[in-house]
Amino acid sequence: MSVLVIAEHDNASIKGATLNTVTAALACGGEVHVLVAGHNAGAAAAAAAQIAGVAKVLHADSEALGHGLAENIAAQVIAVAGAYSHLLFPATAGGKNVAPRVAAKLDVAQVSEATKVVSPDTFERPIYAGNAIATVQCLDATKVVTIRSTGFDAAAATGGSAAVESIVAVADSGKSQYKGSEIAKSDRPELTAAKIIVSGGRAMGSSEKFNEVLTPLADKLGAALGASRAAVDAGYAPNDWQVGQTGKIVAPQLYVACGISGAIQHLAGMKDSKVIVAINKDAEAPIFSVADYGLEADLFAAVPELVKSL
C-alpha cells in the first residue's frame, strides 16, 4: 500500500499546500510518493524530492501538463493510479478541480477537504460551513481525498532525498486550451500560508479606504491581506482575497478582522486561527463571539493608531 500526493506547483517550485498534504499522506500509512506533472518542471520535481518523508517522486513532463488543465492532469494521475491505495490532493483551486475528475474516472467516491486522518479509510471533514464535522469511511478500494492544509502541519521542505523517476506524459486531451492568467504580483505572503492576516469587511467603505487603512498595518506586521465576502462583492478587494466557506480557508497565528461583522460563512474560513483580533464599532457584531481580543472602536481611528504603536 502506498500513497500518491499530487503536487501543487508552478513548474519551478512546490507550493506550500503540498507539504501539508504529505503530512496527511504519512498519516495514511505506507510509502509516500509525489507526482509532479508539469512542463519544464524539473526544478519542482527536484524540490519535491527534498520533502521529508517522501520515498519517490514521479515526474511527468510535457507542454500539455504545463498549465494544470484538469483533463490532462487527471489522465496523468489515472495512468499511475493503479499502484496506489490513496490519491491525495491539496484542497487548492487546482486540487479541487482535478480530484473529482480522477475519482469519477476510477468509479470511486472522493472525500473533500479532510482535516484529520482517523484511520487509512476514515477521515474527518467539515460540512455546513464548518458548523459540523463529519467522520466518513471510504468503502472504495482507492481513496481519493483532498486535504485541507489548515488541518495538517507542513512537512519539512528539506531533509528528504527521494529518487526522481521520469514517467511517460499522457497525450493532450485536445478538449481544453489554456488561454492565459492574471495572477496578482505581490510581495506579501500567500493568504493561505501567511502567519498573520489583516482582513477587512464592508465597513471599509471603498477600495481606496481599504488600501489606505489596511495596507500600512499589513506592511508593519508582514501580513497577507484578506477580505470578507461583503467587501469583495462591493469591489473593495480582489476576489481571491475572500476568506470564508466558499473562499480561502485560513488558520494563521494572528487574524486581525477590521470592520467585519462575522457572518457564519466568514467564520467558517478563519475560526481555526490561533489568535483572533476583532476591531468593530458594533458591540453586537458576531465576530466578537470568536475573537480572543475585541476592540470596540471606529477602525478608521483605531487601525492607524495601532500601526503607530507597533
The C-alpha cell that represents 43 in the structure block: 526544478
> Judged by CB under 8 A, which of 110, 149, 150, 228 binds another protein?
110
The C-alpha cell that represents 121 in the structure block: 479509510
Rounded distance between C-alpha atoms, residue 95 and residue 101, angstroms: 10
Q: How many residues form the binding site for another protein (CB under 8 A)?
A: 91
Q: Could you say which DSSP state residue 115 is in? A: -
> Judged by CB under 8 A, which of 19, 65, 69, 169 binds another protein?
69
Count other Cβ atoms within 10 Å, centred on residue 82.
Answer: 8
Rounded distance between C-alpha atoms, residue 156 and residue 173, angstroms: 35
Q: Compare residues 55 and 109 and give the one whose CB is closer to another protein.
A: 109
Instruction: Answer whether 243's CB lies under 8 Å from 227's CB.
Output: yes
Choose among 66, 72, 75: nearest CA to 44: 66
Q: Could you say which DSSP state residue 159 is in? A: S
User: Applying CB under 8 A, which part among 26-34, 54-62, 122-130, 206-214 lies near another protein?
Assistant: 122-130
137 near another protein, judged by CB under 8 A: yes
Instruction: Compose the 139-178 pattern: x for residues touching another protein by CB under 8 A, - for all others.
Output: xx--------------------------------xxxxxx
β-pair type (275-280, 293-296): parallel
97 near another protein, judged by CB under 8 A: yes
> Judged by CB under 8 A, which of 18, 228, 245, 261 binds another protein?
245
199 near another protein, judged by CB under 8 A: no
Query: For helices 70-81 and 93-105, what crossing angle results, to 10°?
Result: 50
> Judged by CB under 8 A, which of 131, 163, 165, 206 binds another protein?
131
85 near another protein, judged by CB under 8 A: no
73 near another protein, judged by CB under 8 A: no
CA angle at 295 for the pair 290 and 296, rounded to the nearest 5°: 105
177 torsion bin: left (phi>0), alpha (psi -120 to 50), beta (else):
beta
CA 5 to chain centre: 15
The minimum distance between CB 179 and another protein, in angstroms, equals: 4
107 torsion bin: left (phi>0), alpha (psi -120 to 50), beta (else):
left
The minimum distance between CB 159 and another protein, in angstroms, equals: 26
82 near another protein, judged by CB under 8 A: no
Write out the H or E segment, with its range, that includes residue 221. Answer: helix 207-221
Q: Compare residues 58 and 197 and give the one whose CB is closer to another protein.
A: 197
234 near another protein, judged by CB under 8 A: no
User: Applying CB under 8 A, which part among 23-31, 43-51, 207-215, 274-282 lies near another protein?
Assistant: 274-282
136 near another protein, judged by CB under 8 A: yes
86 near another protein, judged by CB under 8 A: no
Identity (one letter) of the amino acid at 220?
Answer: K
The C-alpha cell that represents 276 in the structure block: 483572533
The minimum distance between CB 4 and another protein, in angstroms, equals: 18
Instruction: Compose the 204-223 pattern: x for residues touching another protein by CB under 8 A, - for all others.
Output: -----------------x--
71 near another protein, judged by CB under 8 A: yes
